[in-house]
Amino acid sequence: MAVPKRKSSQARRDKRRSSTWKLKAPSLVKCPNCGALIKAHRVCPECGMYDGKEIVNVKDDAKKND
């Protein structure tokens, strides 16, 4: 088992345990079609458009789920 040769200072220990290692929130962009905030390079869940083309027909999917 690894054992430290010297005591770690409180500052060094606390720096390691701090929240500086947390992940950042994903950046969001506006959908050019409907203006909803979405992740970049993904189909818009609101209108189903991507790159100016309708990929998913959102209205039909909503009817299927009802």
**What pLDDT digit, counting tens, does each position of 18-58 carry?**
877 778 888 999 999 999 999 999 999 999 999 988 888 87
Q: Determine which helix (DSSP H) or strand (DSSP E) holds 35, and give its type and residue range.
A: none
**Rounded Cα gap, residues 5 and 1, in angstroms:** 13
pLDDT value at 6 more than 80: yes
| Cβ contact 7:14 at 8 Å | no
**Rounded Cα gap, residues 19 and 12, in angstroms:** 14
**Which pLDDT does position 63 carry in this prediction?**
64
Q: How far is CA 46 from CA 4, 41, 50, 53, 60, in A?
A: 54, 14, 11, 14, 12
